[in-house]
Chains A and B, each alone.
Chain A
Amino acid sequence: MKVRHGFAAAMLLGALGGCASQQSDEQVLDAARERFQTVKENTDVLRSAPRDVLRAGESLARAERLATYWGNGSDVEHYAYLSRRYSDIAWEHSQAALNQDRLAKLQLERERLQLALREAKLLSVQQQGQWLEEQMVSLATETERGLVLTLGDVLFDTGHSELKPAANRTVLKVVQFLQLNPKRIVRIEGYTDSSGDREENLKLSRARAQSVADVLIDLGVDPKRITVDGYGEAYSLAENASSRGRAQNRRVEVVFSDEKGKLDAPR
């Protein structure tokens, strides 16, 4: 049969030149079958690109059907090509879908880690708070009344109650300390030396304590956490005979509660 039609076949192939190429039908079919086999057995591919898998199968079946008729070489090749393309497309879609699944999982992982990082940073701020607390302790003194920070006489002008800018650093530390220790409260106590009028001294001591409280409130400390007292010339730290002793006695003390908010009773 083939020998007898050899001439005609050669003529036909020549005529079809552009449509047909001389690759063996079986070879192209095998390549398409193999590719189709791979995708149709892959559950990921079936799940994400069922239509492309179906078309790969249809095109392959068509190529196989055409291969049973003589003289359809170019069509066999064409449909085998389409089948392989559909298989490849299905495969690519499945890879993209797997990547999308992976992206969703990674996104969750990323959020988890971001949360963990935020917590770690918060912890470090708390640790910083602890550090600040240590600083506070060294700045202040632990007394039987609790932690007491003393703002010395040099931070006020004589006879005036306004806190001088030199006190800013200390005040900021107090504010930060109170922000990091939200349960702690303070009592701000003013003291003077014994020179001058007792009543005036009482008023001045209270005004100075109040001016410290005002600065803290300005900086965001809740006024409810602050009480203010003025003791005038009482509770002196040193004798009032010398100017040095008097200077020591002129002061404002910030008494901190413990971390639970328990404050020593006022004097």
Chain B
Amino acid sequence: MIEKRLLAIGLSGLALAGCAKDPQPVEQFRLSEQVLQQAKAVGADDQVEELKLAEDKFARAKENMDDEDYKRARVLAEQAELDARLAEAKVLTRKSQEQVDELERRIERLRKQVGEQP
């Protein structure tokens, strides 16, 4: 009985070695939170797949933090950070593409008025 328990403790200790002994990823949480806010500030919403991923992961990271599973909390928060960064980058690219399209439309209209072939 005791041996069995020791074995279980030993195994779980070994197994969790990477997870449980990690420090609280406080700084990473702050960073992920900030990056998420920033992505939303530039206009990323749930329509952007990566932002949804980021929010889901960050929510799970918070749960893991509450459960004191700091390794998983950190991993998820790190991924959430980069998901959010990607979401932000995609939104910015899309916006610049829209500007390019709009300007091209305007130029097209101008060309027609000037009577110039493109």
A-side residues, CB < 8 A to B, are: 11-12, 15-16, 18-19, 74-75, 78, 81-82, 85-86, 88-89, 92-93, 95-96, 99-100, 102-103, 106-107, 109-110, 113-114, 116-117, 120
> Interface of chain A, helix or strand or loop or mixed?
helix
B-side residues, CB < 8 A to A, are: 11-12, 14-16, 18-19, 64, 69, 71-72, 75, 78-79, 82-83, 85-86, 89-90, 92-93, 96-97, 99-100, 103-104, 106-107, 110-111, 113-116
Q: Which residue on chain B has the smallest CB distance to residue A114?
A: B110
Report the minimum CB–CB distance from A104 to chain B (whole Å). Answer: 10
Q: Which residue on chain A has the smallest CB distance to residue B110?
A: A113
Q: Which residue on chain B has the smallest CB distance to residue A92?
A: B89
Report the minimum CB–CB distance from A53 to chain B (whole Å). Answer: 13
A92–B103 touching, CB < 8 Å: no
A96–B89 touching, CB < 8 Å: yes
Report the minimum CB–CB distance from A89 to chain B (whole Å). Answer: 5
A92–B92 touching, CB < 8 Å: yes
Select one of A12, A74, A82, A85 contacting B14, CB under 8 A: A12
Report the minimum CB–CB distance from A93 to chain B (whole Å). Answer: 6
Residues of B contacting A102 in the complex (Cβ-Cβ under 8 angstroms): 100
Select one of A15, A88, A110, A117 contacting B86, CB under 8 A: A88
Select one of B15, B79, B89, B115 contacting A120, CB under 8 A: B115
Residues of B contacting A78 in the complex (Cβ-Cβ under 8 angstroms): 75, 78-79
Given contacts A106-B107, A113-B107, contact A93 B16 (CB under 8 A): no
Report the minimum CB–CB distance from A160 to chain B (whole Å). Answer: 50
Select one of B71, B90, B103, B116 contacting A116, CB under 8 A: B116
Select one of B11, B19, B89, B110 contacting A93, CB under 8 A: B89
* A82 vs B77: C-alpha distance when bound (angstroms): 11
